[in-house]
Structure 1
Amino acid sequence: MPQMEDSVPPDGPQPYADSVLDLTERIPPGLVMTYGDVAEYLGRGGPRQVGRVMALYGSAVPWWRVVRADGRPLPGHEDRALANYRVEGTPLRTVGGEPRVDLKRARWDGK
């Protein structure tokens, strides 16, 4: 049976969470990955699973480097994320008056 996006990866929650957090720590300053990018890079899970890991355990890693597919920062944490983006020199753009990460310039491919 195919794995559903919201299901736990076959290796269990903790190894998956560790993989997500390890990858997040490797994203260079000034660059980002989307939730979907992280899941694709790891070859398992999906954006929602990555988001869940980040919500539960992400405070110990540079969480602002994992963004939504449209480049918006984490809801409720926009000010802290934007402050980190400015310090790190993350490319930003404005859409409808909202600052977003410029994914064309800031997206990291994991290499």
Structure 2
Amino acid sequence: MDIDKHTVIYTIIASIPKGCVASYGQVAALAGYPNNARLVGRLLKEIPKGSTIPWHRVVNSQGKISFAESCPQYHIQRERLITEGIVINQRINMAKYRW
């Protein structure tokens, strides 16, 4: 994978303000790679531990956390979003919280 793609996508994710979310597809499009939402997902899996990139602000296009509810990362992401003031019912209201 191209290092420049990594940099651009990580920069976009780092730019998502507190209290807002973006979808995988939105991040890909903003980075200049429309229709590459899965690329964003793969790069998020590669973020090193201890990174300050706000990975938790990226959700799927339906406003849902992509991790299974039984997964520890699901609960970490959910808590981080709630701490930032994002209301999560069954899903996040993308009309309200989309960056």
Q: TM-score normalized by structure 2?
A: 0.83
**Contact (CA 8 Å) 1:21, 1:58: kept in 2 or not?**
no
* Residue 58 of structure 1, CA deviation: 6.4
Q: 5+ residue gaps in structure 1? A: 1-7, 95-99
- Structure 1 stretches of 4+ with a deviation exceeding 2 A read 91-94
Query: Identity of counterpart residues, as a percentage?
Result: 26
Work out the number of aligned pairs and report it.
Answer: 92
Which residue of the partner structure matches residue 106 of structure 1?
Answer: 97
Considering fraction of residues, name the structure with more strand: 1
- Pick closer, same or farther for the CA change 1:107–1:58 going to 2, 3 Å: farther
Q: TM-score normalized by structure 1?
A: 0.75
* Residue 43 of structure 1, CA deviation: 1.5
Selected match of 1:57 from 39, 47, 57: 47
Instruction: Map Cα deviations across residues 50-91 of structure 1 (whole Å, 9 max, x no partner).
Output: 111111126521111011111111313211011111110013
Structure with larger Rg:
1
Selected match of 1:71 from 63, 68, 80: 63
